[in-house]
Amino acid sequence: MPIPKGFLFDFDGVIVDSFKSHYSAWSSAFKELFDADIAPFPASCIGKTPMIIANYFCSVIGQENKTEDLYYLKDRHILTNFTVPTLLPGVHEFTNYLTKENVPFGIASNATKQFLKNSIHHLELNFKTVFGFEDYEHPKPSPEAYITLAKALGFKEDDFKDIWVFEDSLTGTKAAKSAGMIPIGITTQHAEEELKNAGSMFIFPTLLEAYQYLNVE
């Protein structure tokens, strides 16, 4: 198959496994703010924005009015107690391949920009164009994140149908589909059937298998 014109990547669950990094920061921030233990992380919040997640944890104890306080405190905790996330398979192989072939690529995530930058630095990743939660007026599942990234990479709307978007969340998959791009599912969070129902055109366990598919085909 001809290689797509561009590749857009979500971060958490596609490039890295950052659950421990985020949840430990949520836990310590929650403890500082409320002097209480935080609830387990719900599957319903996978891929959602930090503000939505903060609102969920506050709502569990009836403190929705503290949502912004928890959001900002967690943002500080994840930087002051930064834990390097775990790199998932195939990232270096894929990005080296795209660089060699001169194919544009970048990251659009609902995570905060500083967390993305810190992670990319510590893991020595080859991503130059990166957008985080603060860069959008309407985060995923709005298509704005991927449209913003695609335009920053030099693409016009006519190109969108030839761009692959790697997503592990249903939220992000819907964003990619709404942007008129090709969602590609990564099964780190959801089953193949769930991702297909959300709009994923192809499904891979990790980026390694996607890289192998592009090279074999």
In angstroms, the Cα distances linking 177 to 131, 136, 143, 198 are 18, 17, 8, 9
Domain presence at residue 28 = yes
Q: Domain boundary residue among 29, 60, 80?
A: 80
Smallest CA-to-CA distance from 25 within 15, 14, 12, 9 is with 12
Which is nearest to 146 in space by CA: 184, 172, 185? 172
User: Would you put residue 85 in left (φ > 0), alpha (ψ -120 to 50) or beta?
Assistant: beta
Q: 3-class SS at 167?
A: strand
pTM: 0.88
CA distance 107 to 150: 10
Establish if 1 belongs to a structural domain.
no
Tens digit of each residue's pLDDT (9 = 90 or more) over 162-176: 999 999 999 999 999
Q: How confident is the model at residue 79 (pLDDT cuts 50, 70, 90)?
A: confident
Mean pLDDT, the chain, integer: 95
Residue 217 has pLDDT above 70, yes or no: no
Residue 193 domain-assigned (yes or no)? yes
Same domain as 116, residue 76:
no
The band of 129, judged by pLDDT with boundaries at 50, 70 and 90, is: very high
pLDDT digits (tens, 9 = 90+) for 8-44: 999 999 999 998 899 999 999 999 999 999 999 998 8
Count CB atoms within 10 A of the CB of residue 13: 23
Choose the final residue of a domain: 80, 97, 121.
80
Instruction: Mark whether 111 and 171 lie in a shared domain.
Output: yes
Check pLDDT > 90 for residue 94.
yes
What are the angstrom distances between the C-alpha of 37 and each of 26, 57, 68, 81?
Answer: 10, 10, 18, 18
Could you give the number of structural domains in the chain? 2
Neighbouring CB atoms inside 10 A of 191's CB total: 11
If asked whether residues 177 and 143 sit together in one domain, one would say: yes
Same domain for 176 and 75: no
Residues 120 and 180 in one domain: yes
Q: Is residue 189 in some structural domain?
A: yes
> Which residues, in sequence order, are CB contacts of 42 under 8 Å at separation 6+?
56
Does 216 score more than 90 pLDDT?
no
Q: Are residues 66 and 94 in the same domain?
A: no
What is the rounded average pLDDT of the residues 108-132?
Answer: 95
CA 91, 178, 104, 113: dihedral to nearest 10 degrees? -60
Q: What range defines the domain where residue 211 resides?
A: 6-18+85-216
Asked whether residue 144 is domain-assigned, the answer is: yes
Least confident of 74-83, 134-143, 201-210: 74-83
User: Do 61 and 137 fall into the same domain?
Assistant: no
Residues 160 and 187 grouped into a single domain = yes
The whole-number average pLDDT for the span 116-130 is: 96
Identify whether residues 54 and 151 lie together within a single domain.
no
Buried b (16+ CB within 10 A) or exposed e, 198-212: bbbbebbebbbbbbe
Paired tokens of 59: 């709502």
State pLDDT tens for residues 46-63.
888 899 999 999 999 999
108 & 209 share domain: yes
Is residue 198 assigned to a domain?
Answer: yes
Same domain as 199, residue 122: yes
Q: Are residues 14 and 104 in the same domain?
A: yes
